[in-house]
Amino acid sequence: MSSVWNNRISVSVFGEAHSHAIGVTINNLPVGEYIDAEEVDRFMSRINRRNDGMDFLRKKSTTPHIMSGIYNGRTTGAPLCALICNNIPETDDSYNLGRLARPGHADYTGAVRYKGFNDVRDGGHFSERLTVPLVFAGAVCGQILERRGIYTGSHIAQIHNIKDNPFDYVNLKRDHIISMREKEFPVINDRKGWLMAEDIINTHKKGDSLGGVVECASINVPAGVGSPVFNGLESTIAQLIFSMPFVTGIEFGAGFRASRMTGVENNDEFYVDEHGHVLTKTNNHGGILGGISSGMPIVFRTSFKPDPSVAKPQETIDLHSMKSETFSLDDCETCIVTRAVPCVEAAANIALLSHMIDYPNFC
């Protein structure tokens, strides 16, 4: 299984949903960086947010145990290794895991790829539980970036058919980004957030689930970060975003909306402000041109499909007998989007730091 990402910084994720622990090893971080453990814990605690009236996920630990790479609160240059203990429940095969291919999950494709030897308990290495080590890595990278004035934040842009107000792509400020982290339900328009939460609760009662969109922005990224073709800034962000379960798409700036524009409408006109900085009047390019940052806020949106674990009977197959079966769960998580917000931020932080290391005078 490919669980190592390497792009100046390397991130290696290990463990499975029902192993004793999951974890991450991060190589090539800048040395001597102060890492606030309490701030890392606060960043990671947002993974546990739910808004469907259920709270059993809060019992899942997100507290990292640092094994190496930090001494006296600062990075040492050695690989930074962190473990997160799993609360392993008693083995329950009432859902015939490993035999029935759950609709919307990787049970069938995983069984084919790994010849039936993969750990199927709660998804094994395919589980969203493996995003927790990624979020730890992103929390660490985020602190290093913020010390240089680069801030990343996200909000729930859409759940089902209800849309939040978008970020201001041109005039986004640090305080606006930070305020999103403090909200239990991170939306710009609180009224839209109430409607989203109501939709989630009503859908949970029906035993179904909802998808949505997370919008992420990074501010104060200087111009000139990134490369064209295969190592573009969008490519790096997208690769990390697609390492997360349930992701179905990503778009930068105007995204697919640009296909409905003319060239004149889509182009962002340049100007020089009173401080001598080159900026654009609009930001349809989402802060990246030719794979390289322009100095404008980097803005992108990530779409998430509904959690496939629904509490309604669905048709599937028995992988042993190759006959049709019916599969259903007693309960489900109605909307994973609320918990995906810090995951998206973490991916952006890792991608940005990996490119910033080459930026003059960064380290």
Which position has the token pair 């640090």? 174
Q: What is the pLDDT of residues 24-35, one digit of tens each?
A: 999 999 999 999
* pLDDT recorded at residue 130: 84
Which residues are 298's β-sheet partners? 218
Pairwise CA distance, residues 16 & 297, whole Å:
36
pLDDT in tens, 181-202: 889 999 999 999 999 999 999 9
Give the residue, 141 or 22, on which the prediction is more confident.
141
What's the pLDDT at 56? 42
User: How much of the chain exceeds pLDDT 70, in percent?
Assistant: 91
How high does pLDDT run on average in the chain?
Answer: 89
pLDDT score of 12 more than 60: yes
pTM of the model: 0.91
Give the pLDDT mean for 308-320. 82
pLDDT greater than 60 at residue 342: yes
The label of the residue with tokens 């991450």 reads: 24
Span 355-360, mean pLDDT? 92
Comparing 63 with 136, the larger pLDDT belongs to: 136
Which one is predicted more confidently, 333 or 134? Answer: 134
pLDDT band per the 50, 70, 90 thresholds, residue 60: low
pLDDT category of residue 172 using cuts at 50, 70 and 90: very high
Per residue in 74-102, pLDDT (tens digit) is 999 999 999 998 876 555 554 556 677 77
State pLDDT tens for residues 188-244.
Answer: 999 999 999 999 999 999 989 999 999 999 999 999 999 998 999 999 999 999 999
> Mean pLDDT over residues 251-270, rounded?
97
Q: If you write DSSP's letter for every residue of 306-320 in order, what string do you get? A: PPS--SS-EEEEBTT
Assign 271 to helix, strand or coil. Answer: strand
Find residue 163's DSSP bridge partners.
Answer: 158
Of 72-76, 79-83, 178-182, 248-252, least confident by mean pLDDT is 178-182
**Which fold, 4-356?**
Chorismate synthase, AroC fold (3.60.150)
pLDDT tens-digit profile of 278-307?
999 999 999 999 999 999 999 999 999 998
Report helix angle 131-146 to 337-356, nearest 10: 50
Instruction: Tell me what pLDDT residue 57 has.
Output: 46
**What is the Cα–Cα distance from 346 to 248, expressed in whole angstroms?**
18
Residues contacting residue 185 through CB under 8 Å, at least 6 positions apart? 49, 51, 156, 193, 196, 197, 338
pLDDT over threshold 50, residue 58: no
Q: Where are the domains of the chain?
A: 4-356
Q: What is the pLDDT of residue 96?
A: 59
Task: Report the pLDDT value the prediction gives residue 122, as an integer from 0 to 100.
Answer: 66
**pLDDT of amino acid 91:** 53
Instruction: Please indicate whether residue 260 or residue 309 has the higher confidence score (pLDDT).
Output: 260
Q: What ranges in the chain are assigned the alpha helix state H?
A: 37-45, 107-113, 131-146, 174-182, 190-205, 233-241, 263-266, 337-356
